[in-house]
Amino acid sequence: MREIKVIVAEDEELIRNNMVRKIESLDSTIKVIAAAQDGKEALEFIRKEQPDLLITDIRMPIMDGMELIKTISLKYPRIRTIITSGYAEFEYAKQALKYNVNDYLLKPISEHELRRVLSSVHEEIEQERSGLQPNLEDVLLPGMPGEEIVARVQRYIRDHFDQELSMERIAKQFNFNASYLSKIFIKHTGDPPSKHLLALRISEAQYLLTHQRSLSVKEVGERVGYPDQFYFSRIFKQVTGCTPKDYRK
């Protein structure tokens, strides 16, 4: 199995260090590449390192775990997330599951539970790398809350961002008016679906450029929905400030 790269976010130093030691002792293919003391620091590590998995506490200063995983679910949907919390925060932590969190661990974390959760996530990542992860279709129902509509559209975009995708196609998939669907999306996220799609594509491109160096720039572009290499390079530079080749270096 290829290496699984992990970032840990925990504000208590002793717990953070123990977590890192436990993770790396359980599986030689799982490597903690960074340990952050708050969500803001973790987000910066994520942007630079493009990990496979984030393990984060719920209660942290500056940016808490809930805000962190919400950002991850929107900008870096490939990254798996596991949350940790004390018993008093258990109900609060369960709310995080709507942000595509894989699992949660109750403190104090037992080695058995940590092994179970890591094994499950590890298997998911390997399935995705092997192309065995299924895409999930969804539908929108009359009277559905706006937040749920947006969540399902985001999920659809996440599962199909590597294909030719337009607002019209997305709206047709859900049997909604394109203009109305776009307004709902902007109301609840602040951005149009096209910006969300662009962020996903560039995030995936950064991941591929970092972790699959055997792929050419053209192949990376094709995998994220940009079959025209020159257009892909131009869009990538507009968003990141550098070309795909420079980013890889």
Q: ∠39-67-53 over CA atoms, to 5°?
A: 60
**Which residues are paired to 235 by β-bridges?**
none
- Taking alpha carbons only, the member of 53, 3, 57, 49 closest to residue 27 is 3
- Taking alpha carbons only, the member of 37, 81, 80 closest to residue 60 is 37
Token look-up 């669907």 returns 181
CATH architecture of the domain covering 4-129: 3-Layer(aba) Sandwich (3.40)
pLDDT given at position 93: 62
pLDDT given at position 33: 96
Question: In this predicted model, what pLDDT tens digit does every residue of 114-169 receive, in sequence order?
Answer: 988 888 888 878 777 765 443 434 455 456 788 888 888 888 888 888 887 877 77
Mean pLDDT along residues 171-196: 81
Question: In this predicted model, what pLDDT tens digit does every residue of 77-124 receive, in sequence order?
Answer: 888 999 888 766 666 666 666 677 878 888 888 888 898 888 888 887
> What DSSP line would sit under 118-145, residue for residue?
HHHHHHHHHHHHTT-PPP------TT--
Q: Between 180 and 16, name the one with better pLDDT.
A: 16
> What DSSP line would sit under 23-88, residue for residue?
HHHH-TTEEEEEEESSHHHHHHHHHHH--SEEEEES--SSS-HHHHHHHHHHH-TTSEEEEEE-GG
pTM for this entry = 0.59
pLDDT given at position 137: 42
3-state secondary structure of 177: coil
Question: In this predicted model, what pLDDT tens digit does every residue of 204-246 receive, in sequence order?
Answer: 999 999 988 899 999 999 999 998 899 899 999 999 999 999 9
List the domain boundaries for the chain: 4-129, 146-248
* Whether domain 146-248 has CATH 1.10.10.60: yes
30 Cβ contact partners less than 8 Å away, ≥ 6 residues apart: 3, 4, 6, 23, 24, 53, 118, 122
